[in-house]
């Protein structure tokens, strides 16, 4: 099949050709970036929190002075442990996907010169570390005397557990055990590293810092009260949480149960990512509509061309072209147009990605999205043109003899 | 003439129903998608106080000891700076604001205690922000000075506690203190809750929470200090040491809004702010003397990038989509007009000018746009309905107002005329002789 006559024919329809090519180019740019957005959103929802989500729930009460919780923690922990099915109850400041706990910038030296980034702090009372089910990869779990009383944010001097991601960020290539860091005057020493530990919310650095978190063992008391971590058999969990909520009215009748924050971690997780899922769903809808519209455009124009060229097709058939030749002619023509559109579209996709990177903290578009997008558009073009091309191939040679 | 063209256009559209339907659908989907997102953008980025916002300003000073000269002032103020600026009474109106969540009981109704979001502010808050009253009224300057135990409650809370009845004179127990209700607000839903906006640039574009509801209980600023002492929401602290008492702590937690009615007063106030900052540096309390800001309300909202980034992303996406629909329509219209080259040739041969052919084609494109606009309007309604069912703070705001309704049709017709211009031009260039020969 010669390409030259096809190009010559396209030159006669310059505007229509350019239009379709432009449409393909725009579609290519939007398609690549939208797919990439979907992938980043979905990847975000896959974050590994590092805790036994299916076995954990959180219960929150408010209506007391954070500075003077009195015997609230003792009453609550004892009361919650008495709820049938509760395997453990402990005091925490927050949980994964729960309310923002402590976010603070840390430094790697006492003077506060060497910044370490803004990290998320979990503070937890005795029993909470075991209950969370965090998987230690080196070092040790907090021991009884690591749980020190705290006055404000965290204890003044604590032995902490960090996530592997944070350890690699702070001390790349070094053994993190025994390393120290500071937050203002608070001092921390790393005694353990866990495989995964996601912070309650994304930090200032965007999604890349989701695992920058620290677990600080602390004695429940002022500023560590009111939020309780429950562990139960995953099968029983929702029943246990319901009973525990009901029990609060007896354990602490003077407190206000925070219904919105008292959930299983699974529910909190699903809520946390709802917006991302909605956005991903919307993007899928847009892509579908986009491909559909593009295909319709190709079908419309190809049909027009087929009708316009009926006589020429008849003549070609009359002088020996097979049906296959005619079919291939339209297929190759479409391939050429789509290819030029894709070439332009790749540049556009890249430019669009640069704009998105600037405004939405999106990473760079991985290059393999471009050939995948191109393949999709080629396939779409061929599918769309198939109908009109088959109709063209069905034009009988006798058309050539009708009307001059 | 227009009637004739419309008749021709209708005939032409009826001739190939499939192609017409495709074009109308393409325009409708494109318009529906872009108008849905545009309406949300319009609702979220609009002026929350039209007519007044240009007179409202948000002063900032920088009490941070951070020596970095590029340090931005904090989004709120420490107690002392805010009180100093407020007490100077240099503005036409001014309101201090601090927020807290407190336990509330209503001794006269038997309901379990609940946690409510409260605002401690000063008397000018209500006239300055146009807060509408259903019953009673706000407190006055004397109540502010005498730390009167009074409160204004929201319509929501009034419904929840008192079934919407006039509750002025009733008592609420906030934490451990009793306050008397002096006013009940009518339903009030500024979007965003502009006076609470702060910290937007640190939220990674996730700013939907700015579009929640206003606080349920408002009380005089000093009363708030008595009722709640150190329990106010703190924006941030520049040091963890220092006093345990919030009022003397190294923390920022108070905002100040001022109303300045003329450009001269704005200049004067900016000067006053700079003077205050310099004076505080002389006193040794500030490090940055020249780091003051006086954003206007809309500037402050822009600075905080209040429109959630997802919403902006959706709008961009929708317009890219509209562009593709536009290209598509251009292609289809081109096919449609040129298919009628013979007919056009006859018209030209019978004396129609190029201009007349061009106009006729444009009328047809415009009619398509109008049909697409109707479809787009329906799809926009569906889109907004879908958004109103999303679990986002601004869901209940989603509706199509008159201006956006008109915009839908204007956009549809403009888009289709744009799409029709090139094909119409090509059609008007058809050489009549050539066409007649082939008939």
How large is the average pLDDT for residues B275-287? 89
In this structure, are B150 and B238 located in the same domain? yes
**Closest approach of chain B CAs to the CA of A15, in angstroms?**
9
In this structure, are B326 and B190 located in the same domain? no
How large is the average pLDDT for residues A268-289? 86
In this structure, are B129 and B185 located in the same domain? yes
In this structure, are B210 and B329 located in the same domain? no
How large is the average pLDDT for residues A213-217? 93
pLDDT in tens, A385-403: 999 999 999 988 888 777 5
Across the interface, of B103, B202, B241, the residue whose CB is closest to A63 is: B103
Examine the fold and report which residue of B303, B335, B368 is the final residue of a domain before the chain moves on: B303
Pairwise pLDDT comparison (B233 vs B205), residue with the higher score? B233
Whether pLDDT at B163 is above 80:
yes
Interchain proximity A19–B334, CB inside 8 Å: yes
pLDDT in tens, B238-280: 887 667 788 888 899 999 999 999 999 999 999 999 999 999 9
pLDDT class of A289 with cuts at 50, 70, 90: confident
pLDDT for B362: 92
In this structure, are B84 and B20 located in the same domain? no
Interchain proximity A30–B26, CB inside 8 Å: no
**Pairwise CA distance, residues A130 & A88, whole Å:** 9
Most B CBs within 10 A among A13, A18, A19, hence the mutation to make, goes to A19
Whether pLDDT at B96 is above 70:
yes
CB contacts of B17 in chain A (<8 Å) are: none
Shortest CA distance from B111: residue in chain A = A256
In this structure, are B121 and B209 located in the same domain? yes
Concatenating the DSSP letter of every residue in A222-234 gives TTB-SEEEEEE-T
Whether pLDDT at A404 is above 50:
no
In this structure, are B229 and B339 located in the same domain? no
Chain B CB within 8 Å of residue A215 CB: no
pLDDT in tens, A100-117: 777 888 999 888 888 888
User: How would you class B42 by CB atoms within 10 Å of its CB: exposed for 0-12, middle for 13-18, buried for 19 or more?
Assistant: middle
Whether pLDDT at A149 is above 80:
yes
In this structure, are B135 and B236 located in the same domain? yes
Chain B CB within 8 Å of residue A351 CB: no
In this structure, are B116 and B251 located in the same domain? yes
Interchain proximity A204–B202, CB inside 8 Å: yes
**CB contact at 8 A, A236 and A161:** no
End-to-end CA distance of chain B: 27
Interchain proximity A308–B339, CB inside 8 Å: yes
How large is the average pLDDT for residues A121-142? 93
pLDDT for B439: 55
In this structure, are B222 and B325 located in the same domain? no
What is the domain range of residue B416?
A: 2-48+308-438
3-state SS of chain B? CHHHHHHHHHHHHHHCHHHHHHHHHHHHHHHHHHHHHHHHHHHHHCCCCCCCHHHEEEEECCCCCCCCCCCCCCCCECHHHHHHHHHCCCCCEEEEEEEEEEEEECCCCCCCCEEEEEEEECCCHHHHCCCCEEEECCCCHHHHHCCCCEEEECHHHHHHHHCCCCCCCCEEEECCEEEEEEEEECCCCCCCCHHHCCCHHHCCCCCHHHHCCCCCEEEEHHHHHHHHCCCCCCCEECCCCCCCCHHHCCEECEEEEEECCCHHHHHHHHHHHHHHHHHHHHCCCCCCCCCCEEEEHHHHHHHCCCCCHHHHHHHHHHHHHHHHHHHHHHHHHHHHHHHCHHHHHHHHHCCCCHHHHHHHHHHHHHHHHHHHHHHHHHHHHHHHHHHHCCCCCCHHHCCCCHHHHHHHHHHHHHHHHHHHHHHHHHHHCCCHHHHHHHC
**Pairwise CA distance, residues B198 & B213, whole Å:** 15
- Paired sense of beta strands A186-194 and A157-163, if any: parallel
**CB contact at 8 A, A208 and A194:** no
How large is the average pLDDT for residues B359-365? 91
pLDDT class of B426 with cuts at 50, 70, 90: confident
User: What are the CB-based long-range contacts (under 8 Å, 24+) for B160-168?
Assistant: B160/B111, B161/B106, B161/B109, B161/B111, B162/B106, B162/B109, B166/B135, B166/B136, B167/B135, B168/B135, B168/B136
Whether pLDDT at A201 is above 80:
no
Whether pLDDT at A2 is above 80:
no
Q: Give chain B's mean pLDDT.
A: 88
**CB contact at 8 A, A193 and A53:** no
Indicate the pTM of the whole model. Answer: 0.79
What number of H helices and E strands is found in chain A?
Answer: 11, 12
**Pairwise CA distance, residues A197 & B361, whole Å:** 64
**CB contact at 8 A, A262 and A240:** no
CB contacts of B338 in chain A (<8 Å) are: 304, 308
CA distances in angstroms from A327 to A332, B250, B357, listed in the order given: 9, 78, 36
Examine the fold and report which residue of B272, B303, B334 is the final residue of a domain before the chain moves on: B303
Whether pLDDT at A36 is above 70:
yes
Most A CBs within 10 A among B320, B394, B427, B436, hence the mutation to make, goes to B320
Whether pLDDT at B384 is above 50:
yes
Examine the fold and report which residue of B274, B303, B332 is the final residue of a domain before the chain moves on: B303
pLDDT for B438: 63
pLDDT in tens, A53-99: 999 999 999 888 777 888 899 999 999 999 999 999 999 998 888 87
Across the interface, of B317, B323, B327, the residue whose CB is closest to A34 is: B317
Of chain A, the percentage scoring pLDDT greater than 70 comes to 97
Total structural domains within chain B? 2
**Closest approach of chain B CAs to the CA of A134, in angstroms?**
28
Shortest CA distance from A279: residue in chain B = B310
In this structure, are B284 and B345 located in the same domain? no
């Amino acid at each position: 099949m010669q390409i030259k006559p096809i190009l010559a024919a396209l030159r006669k329809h310059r505007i229509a050709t350019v239009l379709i090519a432009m449409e393909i180019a725009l579609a290519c740019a939007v398609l690549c970036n939208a797919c990439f957005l979907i992938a980043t959103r979905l990847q975000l929802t896959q974050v590994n929190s590092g805790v036994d989500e299916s076995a954990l729930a959180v219960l929150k009460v408010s209506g007391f002075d954070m500075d003077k919780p009195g015997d609230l923690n003792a009453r609550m922990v004892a009361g919650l442990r008495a709820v049938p099915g509760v395997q453990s109850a402990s005091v925490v400041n927050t949980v994964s996907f729960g309310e923002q706990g402590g976010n603070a910038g840390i430094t790697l030296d006492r003077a506060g010169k060497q910044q370490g980034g803004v990290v998320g702090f979990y503070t937890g009372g005795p029993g909470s570390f075991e209950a969370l089910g965090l998987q230690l990869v080196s070092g040790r779990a907090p021991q009884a005397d690591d749980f020190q009383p705290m006055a404000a944010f965290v204890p003044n001097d604590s032995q902490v557990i960090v996530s592997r991601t944070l350890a690699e960020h702070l001390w790349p290539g070094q053994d993190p055990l025994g390393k120290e860091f500071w937050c203002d005057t608070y001092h921390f020493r790393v005694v353990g590293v866990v495989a995964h530990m996601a912070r309650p919310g994304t930090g200032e650095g965007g999604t890349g810092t989701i695992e920058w978190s620290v677990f600080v063992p602390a004695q429940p008391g002022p500023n560590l009260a009111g939020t309780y971590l429950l562990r139960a058999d995953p099968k029983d969990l929702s029943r246990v949480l319901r009973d525990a909520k009901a029990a609060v009215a007896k354990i602490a009748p003077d407190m206000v149960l925070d219904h919105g924050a008292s959930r299983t971690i699974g529910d909190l997780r699903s809520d946390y990512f709802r917006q991302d899922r909605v956005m991903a769903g919307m993007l899928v809808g847009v892509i579908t509509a986009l491909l559909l519209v593009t295909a319709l455009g190709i079908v419309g124009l190809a049909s027009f061309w087929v009708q316009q060229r009926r006589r020429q097709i008849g003549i070609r058939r009359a002088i020996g072209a097979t049906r296959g030749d005619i079919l291939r002619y339209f297929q190759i023509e479409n391939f050429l147009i789509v290819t030029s559109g894709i070439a332009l579209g790749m540049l556009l996709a890249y430019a669009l990605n640069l704009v998105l990177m600037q405004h939405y903290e999106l990473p760079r578009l991985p290059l393999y999205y471009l050939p995948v997008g191109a393949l999709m558009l080629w396939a779409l073009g061929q599918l769309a043109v198939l109908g009109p091309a088959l109709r063209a191939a069905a034009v009988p040679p006798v058309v050539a003899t009708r009307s001059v | 003439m227009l009637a004739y063209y419309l008749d021709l256009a209708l005939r032409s559209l009826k001739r190939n129903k499939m192609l017409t339907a495709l074009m109308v659908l393409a325009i409708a989907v494109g318009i529906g998608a872009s108008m849905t997102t545009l309406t949300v953008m319009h609702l979220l980025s609009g002026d929350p106080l039209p007519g007044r916002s240009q007179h409202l300003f948000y002063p900032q000073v920088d009490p941070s000891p951070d020596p970095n000269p590029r340090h931005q002032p904090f989004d709120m103020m420490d107690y002392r700076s805010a009180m100093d600026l407020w007490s100077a009474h240099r503005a036409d109106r001014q309101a201090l604001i601090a927020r807290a969540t407190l336990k509330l009981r209503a001794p006269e109704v038997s309901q379990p205690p609940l946690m409510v979001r409260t605002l401690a502010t000063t008397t000018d808050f209500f006239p300055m922000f146009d807060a509408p009253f259903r019953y009673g009224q706000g407190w006055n300057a004397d109540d502010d000075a005498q730390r009167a135990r009074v409160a204004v409650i929201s319509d929501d809370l009034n419904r929840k506690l008192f079934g919407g009845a006039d509750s002025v004179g009733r008592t609420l127990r906030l934490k451990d203190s009793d306050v008397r209700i002096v006013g009940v607000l009518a339903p009030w839903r500024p979007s965003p809750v502009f006076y609470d906006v702060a910290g937007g640039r640190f939220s990674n574009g996730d700013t939907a929470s700015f579009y929640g509801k206003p606080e349920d209980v408002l009380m005089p600023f000093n009363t708030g200090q008595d009722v709640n002492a150190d329990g106010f929401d703190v924006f941030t602290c520049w040091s963890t040491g220092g006093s345990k008492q919030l009022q003397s702590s190294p923390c920022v937690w108070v905002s100040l809004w001022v109303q300045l009615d003329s450009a001269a007063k704005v200049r004067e106030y900016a000067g006053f702010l700079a003077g205050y900052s310099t004076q505080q540096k002389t006193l040794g309390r500030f490090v940055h003397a020249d780091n003051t800001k006086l954003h206007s309300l809309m500037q402050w909202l822009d600075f905080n990038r209040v429109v959630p980034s997802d919403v902006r992303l959706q709008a961009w996406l929708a317009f890219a989509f509209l562009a593709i629909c536009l290209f598509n329509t251009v292609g289809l219209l081109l096919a449609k007009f040129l298919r009628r080259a013979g007919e056009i040739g006859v018209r030209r041969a019978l004396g129609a000018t190029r201009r007349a052919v061009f106009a006729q084609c444009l009328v047809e494109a415009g009619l398509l746009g109008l049909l697409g606009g109707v479809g787009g309007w329906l799809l926009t309604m569906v889109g907004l309905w879908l958004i109103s069912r999303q679990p986002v703070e601004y869901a209940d705001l989603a509706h199509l107002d008159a201006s956006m309704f008109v915009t839908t049709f204007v956009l549809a017709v403009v888009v289709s005329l744009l799409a029709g211009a090139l094909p119409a031009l090509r059609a008007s260039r058809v050489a009549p002789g050539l066409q007649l020969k082939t008939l």
